[in-house]
Chains A and B, each alone.
Chain A
Amino acid sequence: MPIVMDADRIARTLTRIAHEILERNRVLDELAFVGIRSRGFPLARRLARIIHEINGHDVPTGALDVTLYRDDLMRKSVGTQPVIQSTEIAFSIDDKHILLVDDVLYTGRTIRSALDALVEFGRPRSIQLVVLVDRGHRELPIKADYVGKNLPTSPTQSVQVYLAEIDGRDEVEIRE
């Protein structure tokens, strides 16, 4: 399986994205991270930590599970339902500039679900999208504001992101 990003590459990519976020958002008080479960959340926490190391500012970070907002949940009548993890957004998102974080951007449907979920928590001033990998093949008009790596793939391949917090190692790999 070809490994397209190793731990070092992921770390440097996140540092670069953190700098881009600071470059584009001058007023840090109104920023907040929301990471999509499962792997968007640890990425959001890492970005918050890097920003803290750069300028000492603490950006609040929440976790969002979008399972209940998916458009494919009720399409088949039997089988196991996906596991729901908890959503923890311990701050008001009203009037905040939200940085929505996910690991892989593919069809855009997860992001669509996340946008639906987010607007029920309040009315953010803006939502910007951060992804570690953009693998193309969008099915909805959605575009990321910060991209770690553009990865041309075919729809038959799958892109798997492993993160130390969940999987014990940092790696991005393409599977046939």
Chain B
Amino acid sequence: MKKDLLEIADLSSDEIYQVLDTAEAMREIGERPIKKVPTMRGKTVVNLFYEPSTRTRTSFEIAEKRLSADTLNVAVASSSVLKGETLFDTAKNIEAMAPDVIVLRHPSSGACHMLARICRSRIINAGDGMHEHPTQALLDAFTIRQHKKRVDGLKVAIVGDLLHSRVMRSNALLLTMLGADVWVSAPPTLVPSGIDRLGVKVSTSVDEVVEGADVIMMLRIQHERMQGAFFPSLREYFNVFGMTAERVGRAKPDVIIMHPGPMNRGVEIASDVADGPYSVILEQVANGVAVRMAVLYLLAGGAEAD
């Protein structure tokens, strides 16, 4: 693998399968009485989070601890960033303390690329603005493969705020690379221009993209990134684009419903669907730890000595 994991384009399909297979082995560690292996002993990982996050930050931290890395979390709320320090200077200062890996979450697209250029440490993108969230796509692919035994040839419907979604971008790139048939749907105001270049099929009809789907992936309406009115009201959004039990009925009988979290119940997804039998939302969270352990292991380790 390359030095950093900034976007899906950093990975070949062989490397994606290598991450998924390694994650399979990592999952077993979480079932042991002692949930820890000494692999990254003596390595330092800094989790640098410029945006609020529960799932991703916790998931990375647990993954790092299970591999015995020394971890530290820099939460922006209690850091020099509030005193006006730029990302560049913060990164240079952290770099001076020689961590092996920096996990970065940042509201600006491309922040990880800048960090990767100026730092010797390995950079893992934990979500940068509206660009990408590669480990989320890897754990989604892992969850899909767990249920469907393959990714190739599946119809995957991604519904919701496509415009602001880094999860959609990473998933569209990864799943099409593995041969899935990816369909996306959103109100026209939430469809980014040039989306067809991701290799996906676009429709404003949810019913059309859900028809016969093997996987339905719902995206959160990102109020915090919305300046202006993208749709008339939340209720109308739910009526036209919300995932209801009735809409799920159009998909394959063994469909799985995914959501990267945090969910807006009653906006993009009905509560009975989120908690229903097709939902694998909590499995995604559980798999996130194993997938991040795999990424850390494959990035931060070295070659065989002999």
Contact = CB atoms under 8 A, between A and B. Distances in A.
A68 B39 contact: yes
Interface in A52-108: 65, 68-69, 72-88
Contacts of A81: 22, 297-298, 301-303
Interface stretch (B29-37, B129-137, B149-157, B166-174): B29-37
Nearest to B43: A74
Given A68-B39, A74-B40, A88 B303 contact: no
Contact of A84 (B1, B22, B34, B41): B22
B306 A72 contact: yes
A116 interface: yes
B38 interface: yes
A68 B38 contact: yes
B304 interface: yes
B8 to A, nearest CB: 19
Nearest to A65: B25
A122 B1 CA distance: 35
A90 to B, nearest CB: 11
A79 to B, nearest CB: 3
A68 B297 contact: yes
B24 interface: yes
Interface in A4-48: none
Contacts of A122: 33
Nearest to B120: A77
The binding surface of chain B is classed by DSSP as: loop
A122 B43 CA distance: 26
A78 B28 contact: no
Interface residues of A, number: 25
Contact of B303 (A65, A78, A84, A85): A78
Contact of B18 (A76, A83, A120, A121): A83
A82 B40 CA distance: 14
B302 A86 contact: no
Interface residues of B, number: 31
A63 B73 CA distance: 36
B301 A73 contact: yes
Contacts of A82: 304
A69 B36 CA distance: 10
Nearest to B25: A84
A122 B34 CA distance: 9
A121 B32 contact: yes
Interface in B1-59: 1, 3, 18, 21-22, 24-26, 28-29, 32-34, 36-43
Contacts of A77: 302
B199 to A, nearest CB: 28
B22 A120 contact: no
Interface string B272-306: 00000000000000000000000001101111111
Given A84-B22, A84-B26, A121-B32, A68 B303 contact: no
B42 A74 contact: yes
A65 B24 CA distance: 13
A152 B39 CA distance: 33
A76 B36 CA distance: 22
A82 B298 CA distance: 9
A120 B34 contact: yes
A80 B19 CA distance: 12
Nearest to B68: A68
A116 B28 CA distance: 17
Contacts of B303: 76, 78-81
Query: Which 5 A-B pairs have CB atoms at the shortest separation, nearest pair first?
Result: A79-B303, A76-B302, A72-B305, A84-B25, A68-B37
Interface of A: 65, 68-69, 72-88, 116-117, 120-122
Given A74-B39, A80-B1, 15 more contacts: A74-B42, A74-B300, A75-B305, A76-B303, A78-B3, A78-B302, A82-B304, A83-B18, A84-B25, A84-B26, A87-B25, A87-B28, A88-B28, A120-B34, A122-B33
